[in-house]
């Protein structure tokens, strides 16, 4: 974790042309960068605002020890440029955060994207004006920009959640959030370290923190299901084989519901003998990571199938963890296997066999309060030098409602979504013209390989804008009916899945007071693509379009033809 990000770009004085553009984009992660590139390719003028000092999004902020992607690097990468995918060489099956960040920085440089990005600047508000069909966007630096279109690439997991623990501010030791990790090396040697949370971020960091700390206390409210990632260096032969026809490999992946190729058996776990079932689980276990869920097609659809995989998994954990009492505390009680995103770890359970690691069970009482030198939980006081909050994110909606985004009647998305997010295709929101969100609620999000989903949504948005420009339209808005239909489609897709029956960040259950609804569309990537295509082919059915009188504005704002 020695990589230090360069500052994204020098802040140039802003000229008039930059105060009025076709599109303002929020975020310079995978989504924002591709939006910028694609919009420029089609002749739209763009400003991107990014809170961080460099590109990278998730991979800029999440620098905690062990941070790594759980989707294979050959698939978790852009495919819009054959040259790019040929020239970049991934070194590991699952890329580490430094490698992912280096890749994103390479993309920004290769396609000259930094010149379109204003770093260290947050978009605070946006207001749509119906007389000009334009958004006025305000930023944390006090800048105001006018844009025909306002597009978010602000991230699914970017608004961190730090629970309001009693007296948290009294703690005088060091504290960190995994999602806002410092850019310098953090030293834990000789320290008593507490990690709060046992989600994916904690699971990746705990084994490495345990190696450094004098003693590591893991404060666990709910145990998670973790399978071994089986990460390894990539074999140059396997890379060569994929690169020999990368487009065909990508096309095959896009036929899968998750837009991700992995060994998958569509059969039922209930229709095979116990021996065959065990062998199948064992084979997928050895493959490692999320593909474990591909052992049978009904693991997340049928409670009995889910119980069987849980039993197999419990046997594994009990065999790894030496202390039977600790092992039982690490096993979720009654939760659906894979209901929360399955975690892929490396030496996670083995870490609990170390003498310097203590698992603290918060399931009964939670953390009572912080003190200047530690915290109190279960009536016991823990003296700590440092605390790592691995407490997750206000997922999917957090980064959207953090901004004051107001439609023509002054109402905000924050208000509209207080009873749950509603979108059309996950891309547009009724009442908010010329506004698009990427990877938000109602879209496939993390249920399809993120970068693939981003490319699809971006292409769709830019095609739509180009179509509007050709037709002379200056305003589009999703109809209330189309949005309601889509909300029903999203709910219907979620209904058969056991995932929709769980408390997780998918349902907003991790944030106190957040409206509970299963937010992503899990009907599968091919079904999503087909719905988006059919809308586009039918002249963007479900949207209404308007044009300002000729002379008042050209479609697409200031874009050249
Ligand atoms: P997660 O998966 O949301 O995990 C957050 C963890 O923090 C989880 O174990 C929570 O326990 C715990 N938590 C949250 N609030 C509290 C309080 N108040 N007290 C104790 N423990 C708490 O976030 P991650 O960053 O690990 O991963 C997010 C995604 O990033 C992941 O799914 C991958 O897609 C990548 P809980 O389960 O709520 O009881």
Question: Which atom of ligand 1 lies closest to the CA of 203?
Answer: 26
Q: For residue 520, give every residue at least 6 positions away whose Cβ sits within 8 Å of its Cβ, in sequence order, or none.
A: 396, 441, 442, 443, 444, 445, 446, 447, 490, 494, 506
**Closest C-alpha to ligand 1, atom 27:** 200
In terms of Cβ atoms closer than 10 Å to its own Cβ (0-12, 13-18, 19+), residue 160 is middle
Residues 241-300 have pLDDT tens digits of 999 999 999 999 999 999 999 999 999 999 999 999 999 999 999 999 999 999 999 999
What pLDDT sits at residue 560?
Answer: 30
Q: How far is CA 149 from the centre of its chain?
A: 23
Token pair, residue 302, equals 């049928």
Distance 391 CA to ligand 1 centre (A): 4
What residues are paired with 478 via a beta bridge? 543
Pocket test for ligand 1, best of 221, 330, 359, 396 (most atoms within 8 A of CB): 221
Alpha-carbon distance 123 to 76, whole Å?
A: 27
Domains observed in the chain: 18-157+395-546 (3.50.50.60), 168-238+259-389 (3.50.50.60)
What pLDDT sits at residue 13?
Answer: 60
Alpha-carbon distance 43 to 554, whole Å?
A: 14
What pLDDT sits at residue 260?
Answer: 95
Distance 346 CA to ligand 1 centre (A): 18
Do 84 and 110 form a contact (C-beta atoms < 8 A)? yes
Distance 229 CA to ligand 1 centre (A): 19
- Closest among 346, 282, 276 to 316, alpha carbons compared: 282
Distance 96 CA to ligand 1 centre (A): 20
Q: Is 157 in the pocket of ligand 1 (CB under 6 A)?
A: yes
* Parallel, antiparallel or unpaired: strands 20-26 and 343-345: unpaired
Token pair, residue 429, equals 């929101």
Q: Is 71 in the pocket of ligand 1 (CB under 6 A)?
A: no
What pLDDT sits at residue 550?
Answer: 73
Pocket test for ligand 1, best of 197, 258, 395 (most atoms within 8 A of CB): 197
Residues 11-55 have pLDDT tens digits of 456 777 889 999 999 999 999 999 999 999 999 999 999 999 999
Those residues of the chain that have pLDDT short of 50 are: 1-7, 9-11, 554-561
Rg (CA), the chain: 24
Q: How far is CA 278 from the centre of its chain?
A: 33
Q: Is 365 in the pocket of ligand 1 (CB under 6 A)?
A: no
Do 70 and 83 form a contact (C-beta atoms < 8 A)? no
Do 399 and 159 form a contact (C-beta atoms < 8 A)? yes
- Closest among 438, 439, 459 to 448, alpha carbons compared: 439
**Closest C-alpha to ligand 1, atom 3:** 392
Q: Is 196 in the pocket of ligand 1 (CB under 6 A)?
A: yes
What pLDDT sits at residue 153?
Answer: 98
Q: Is 499 in the pocket of ligand 1 (CB under 6 A)?
A: no
- Closest among 231, 289, 281, 235 to 260, alpha carbons compared: 289
Pocket test for ligand 1, best of 391, 445, 447, 450 (most atoms within 8 A of CB): 391
What pLDDT sits at residue 556?
Answer: 43
Alpha-carbon distance 552 to 132, whole Å?
A: 8
Distance 66 CA to ligand 1 centre (A): 16
Q: Which long-range contacts (CB under 8 A, 24 or more apart) does 250-253 make?
A: 250/79, 250/452, 253/75, 253/449, 253/452
Question: Which atom of ligand 1 lies closest to the CA of 178?
Answer: 25
Pocket test for ligand 1, best of 196, 331, 392, 396 (most atoms within 8 A of CB): 392
What pLDDT sits at residue 8?
Answer: 52
Distance 198 CA to ligand 1 centre (A): 6
How would you classify residue 232: left for phi > 0, otherwise alpha for psi between -120 and 50, otherwise beta?
beta
Do 147 and 21 form a contact (C-beta atoms < 8 A)? yes
Q: Is 199 in the pocket of ligand 1 (CB under 6 A)?
A: yes
Q: Is 61 in the pocket of ligand 1 (CB under 6 A)?
A: no
What pLDDT sits at residue 552?
Answer: 65
Residue 442 dihedral angles phi and psi, to the nearest 5°:
85, -5
What pLDDT sits at residue 192?
Answer: 98
* Parallel, antiparallel or unpaired: strands 374-377 and 367-371: antiparallel
**Closest C-alpha to ligand 1, atom 35:** 200
Q: How far is CA 204 from CA 178, 227, 348, in A?
A: 10, 12, 7
Alpha-carbon distance 192 to 312, whole Å?
A: 35
Token pair, residue 27, equals 């975020």
Token pair, residue 410, equals 């002054």
* Strand (E) or helix (H) holding 462: helix 450-471
Whether the CA torsion 266, 269, 275, 281 is positive or negative: it is positive
- Closest among 341, 241, 395, 290 to 71, alpha carbons compared: 290
Pocket test for ligand 1, best of 177, 195, 399, 510 (most atoms within 8 A of CB): 510
Q: Is 198 in the pocket of ligand 1 (CB under 6 A)?
A: yes
Alpha-carbon distance 10 to 203, whole Å?
A: 37
SS3 of residue 369 by DSSP? strand
- Closest among 361, 365, 378, 376 to 167, alpha carbons compared: 376
């Amino acid at each position: 974790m020695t990589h230090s990000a360069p500052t994204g770009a020098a802040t140039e004085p802003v000229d008039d042309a930059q105060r009025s553009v076709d599109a303002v984009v929020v975020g310079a992660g995978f989504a924002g960068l591709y939006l910028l590139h694609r919009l420029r390719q089609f002749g739209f003028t763009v400003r991107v605002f990014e809170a961080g000092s460099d590109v990278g999004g998730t991979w800029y902020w999440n620098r905690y020890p062990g941070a790594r992607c759980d989707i294979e690097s050959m698939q978790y990468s852009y495919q819009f440029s054959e040259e790019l995918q040929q020239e970049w060489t991934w070194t590991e099956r699952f890329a580490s955060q430094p490698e992912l960040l280096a890749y994103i920085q390479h993309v920004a440089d290769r396609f000259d994207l930094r010149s379109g990005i204003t770093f260290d600047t947050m978009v605070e508000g946006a207001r749509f004006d119906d007389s000009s069909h334009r958004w006025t966007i305000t930023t944390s630096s006090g800048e105001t920009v006018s844009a025909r279109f306002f597009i978010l690439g602000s991230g699914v997991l970017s608004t961190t959640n730090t629970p309001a623990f009693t007296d948290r501010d009294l703690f005088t030791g060091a504290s960190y959030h995994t999602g806002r990790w410092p850019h310098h090396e953090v030293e834990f040697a000789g320290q008593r370290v507490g990690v709060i949370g046992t989600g994916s971020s904690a699971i990746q960091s705990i084994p490495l923190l345990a190696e450094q700390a004098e003693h590591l206390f893991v404060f666990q409210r709910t145990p998670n299901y973790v399978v071994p990632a089986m990460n390894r260096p990539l074999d140059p032969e396997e890379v060569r084989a994929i690169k020999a026809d990368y487009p065909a490999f990508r096309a095959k992946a896009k036929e899968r519901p998750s837009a991700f190729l992995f060994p998958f058996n569509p059969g039922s776990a209930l229709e095979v003998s116990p021996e065959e079932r065990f062998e199948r689980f064992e084979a997928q276990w050895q493959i490692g990571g999320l593909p474990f869920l591909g052992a049978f097609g009904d693991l997340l659809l049928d409670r009995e199938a889910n119980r069987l995989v849980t039993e197999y998994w419990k046997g594994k954990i009990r065999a790894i963890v030496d202390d039977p009492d600790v092992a039982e505390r690490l096993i979720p009680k009654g939760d659906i296997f894979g209901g929360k995103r399955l975690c892929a770890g490396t030496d996670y359970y083995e870490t609990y066999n170390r003498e310097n690691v203590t698992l603290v069970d918060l399931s009964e009482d939670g953390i009572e309060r912080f003190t200047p030198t530690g915290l109190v939980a279960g009536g016991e006081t823990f003296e700590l030098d440092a605390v790592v909050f691995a407490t997750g994110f206000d997922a999917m909606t957090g980064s959207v409602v953090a901004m004051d985004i107001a439609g023509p009647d002054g109402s905000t998305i924050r208000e509209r979504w207080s009873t749950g997010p509603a979108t059309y295709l996950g891309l547009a929101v009724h009442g908010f013209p010329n506004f698009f969100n990427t990877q938000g609620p109602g879209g496939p999000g993390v249920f399809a390989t993120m970068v693939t989903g981003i490319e699809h949504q971006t292409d769709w948005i830019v095609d739509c804008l180009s179509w509007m420009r050709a037709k002379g339209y200056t305003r589009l808005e999703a109809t209330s009916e189309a949005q309601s239909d889509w909300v029903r489609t999203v709910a219907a897709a979620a209904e058969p899945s056991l995932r929709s029956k769980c408390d997780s960040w998918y349902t907003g259950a991790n944030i106190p007071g957040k409206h509970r609804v299963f937010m992503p569309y899990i009907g599968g990537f091919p079904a999503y693509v087909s719905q988006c295509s059919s809308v586009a082919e039918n002249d963007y059915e479900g949207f209404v379009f308007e044009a300002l009188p000729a002379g008042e504005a050209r479609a697409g704002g200031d874009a050249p033809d």
